[in-house]
Structure 1
């Protein structure tokens, strides 16, 4: 159905916003963890424990990189639809979806009633 294609696009835009916001939050959280790990390394006297902390730091930095990549991939999409002109187009597409669904419903439920009765 045509409405499913429009809905898929609108869902993609909405999901892009959610993924972007989540990735941005996670990236910032990993950046804050960096300071915690650095302080833990600084104050740890045992080389073995520092090594464990460094492994955690390595994993955190890798996770941060993955989140940053996601942010960069979705950022342009999110910014594009934040522009007032494009946001208006998106709102119009939402209205279009409703109108197309209404037509599709009409087509599914229509009936023909003969105008002339034959004897």
Structure 2
């Protein structure tokens, strides 16, 4: 869906200029990125990079996507579809993962201590 006005996109890789250009003209993003990349390379880097940075400064961020951006896993606070139970289970899963990593590190440290003390 092509937009009528040129905006930067929060879904972009670097400042969202290429993604905004692609969305503006309803083009695939990857070819636009390659064209911009080769333009920067073939202009001796500095002129192309300066133009890209100026575009990032001049082109406004898309106001419809500016709050965390749509499509990249972030939501406005009032639009988060996860429930308290989902968040609690995610917290417990991450807590167990951290405890396992800490245990692995402790076991490796103890293994190194045992090796050094056995050698003396």
Q: What TM-score do the two structures reach when normalised by structure 2?
A: 0.32
**Larger helix share, 1 or 2:** 1
- Larger of the two Rg values belongs to structure: 1
Name the structure, 1 or 2, with higher relative contact order (CA <8 Å, separation 6+).
1
Q: What TM-score do the two structures reach when normalised by structure 1?
A: 0.32
